[in-house]
Structure 1
Amino acid sequence: MNPIIAILKENNVSDAQIKDVFETLTQNPLAAMATISQLGLPQEQLQQVMAEVMQNPSLIKDAVDELGLDFSKVEAAKSQIQQ
């Protein structure tokens, strides 16, 4: 299982919320950060998730694939982050 999804599930984040986070991440990465911070994760795990999201785009692709979302939107979001 994707480590980002695993951390979210460990903290009782519902499947629907997880899917919402990754849908938001594919459309607007900055909004996704706000969404993630509102999930009530302990600070240490919140920092870990944020670091994974920012530093390891392949994990995002893996999670998007695992959740059955559209990866082309992730590529567009990634280009927004890099600008």
Structure 2
Amino acid sequence: MNPIIALLKENNIGDAQINEIFETLTQNPLAAMATISQLGLPQDKLQLLMGQVMQNPNLIKEAVEELGLDFSKVEAAKEQLNK
């Protein structure tokens, strides 16, 4: 299992909410980060999660694929951020 998904599940974040987070991430990464910060994760877990995302963006791709979402939307969102 993807470590991002595993960390969310360890902290009692349900499958539907995880899917919603990654769906938001594919459309608006900044909004997804705000959503993640509002999940009520303990500060150390939140920092770990954000660190994983920043150090290994490939984990996002793996999680999106594991959840069966469309990664091309992530790429499009990333391009918009770079403009």
TM-score by length of 1: 0.92
Q: Where does structure 2 lack aligned partners over 5 or more consecutive residues?
A: none
Deviation at 1:32, TM superposition (A): 0.3
Runs of 4+ in structure 1 deviating by more than 4 angstroms, as ranges, are none
Instruction: Calculate the aligned-residue CA RMSD, in Å.
Output: 1.2
Deviation at 1:52, TM superposition (A): 1.9
Q: Between Structure 1 and Structure 2, how many residues are aligned?
A: 83
TM-score by length of 2: 0.92
Q: Write out per-residue CA displacement over residues 7-46 of structure 1, whole angstroms, 9 at most, x where no aligned residue.
A: 0000000000100110001100000011001111100110
Q: Where does structure 1 lack aligned partners over 5 or more consecutive residues?
A: none
Give identity over the alignment, percent.
77
Identify the residue that residue 46 of structure 2 maps to in structure 1.
46
Secondary structure of 2:33's aligned partner: helix
Please tell me whether residue 28 in structure 1 is matched to residue 42 in structure 2.
no
Mapped partners of 2:49, 2:78: distance in 1 = 16
Deviation at 1:51, TM superposition (A): 1.8
Mapped partners of 2:17, 2:78: distance in 1 = 21
